[in-house]
Amino acid sequence: MKLRKQRALVLLCCLVVGSSGCAPLIAAGVGAGAGFGTYSYIEGNLKRDYVGPLSTAWEATLAALDELNIAPNVQEKDYFGGLIEGIMHDGTKVTIKLKRLSDNLTEVGVRVGSFGDRAKSETIHDKIAEKFKKK
């Protein structure tokens, strides 16, 4: 009986530790239609994988920012990825990092503000996905 209680206590501790922090915020989803797949929200950064080359993700991201009236003030891109920083109309900083995962897979991470704003990051990703489908 004592061993049974110890096992239950160990299991309970593992569950508590496993559900603390950012672990429950990790999610996996599939977007509507081709173009994007898994996503995760960790420490204020919302990342999604887009099925397509870096150049297409870059163009879609810039088009999305233009439509959302977010003025990019930093644009750096190379073979492996890119960085776009901009300012929203209310003065909030937006940082977007693109990472080439393969020839046909690109990770895009969006962070709004210093600590992250999931709702605004999702809005930006939704617009990127919309533009991505049109490219």
Contact 36, 51 (CB under 8 A): yes
The DSSP code sequence of 62-122 is HHHHHHTT-EEEEEEE-SSEEEEEEE-TTS-EEEEEEEEEETTEEEEEEEETTT--HHHHH
pLDDT at 17: 43
Average confidence (pLDDT) over 12-34: 40
Among the residue ranges 25-29, 32-36, 67-71, the one predicted with the least confidence is: 25-29
Q: What is the pTM of this model?
A: 0.72
SS3 56: helix
Which pLDDT tens digit goes with each residue over 77-120? Answer: 999 999 999 999 999 999 999 999 999 999 999 999 999 999 99
Which pLDDT tens digit goes with each residue over 36-86? Answer: 556 788 889 999 999 999 999 999 999 999 999 999 999 999 999 999 999
Architecture of domain 26-134: 2-Layer Sandwich (3.30)
pLDDT at 133: 86
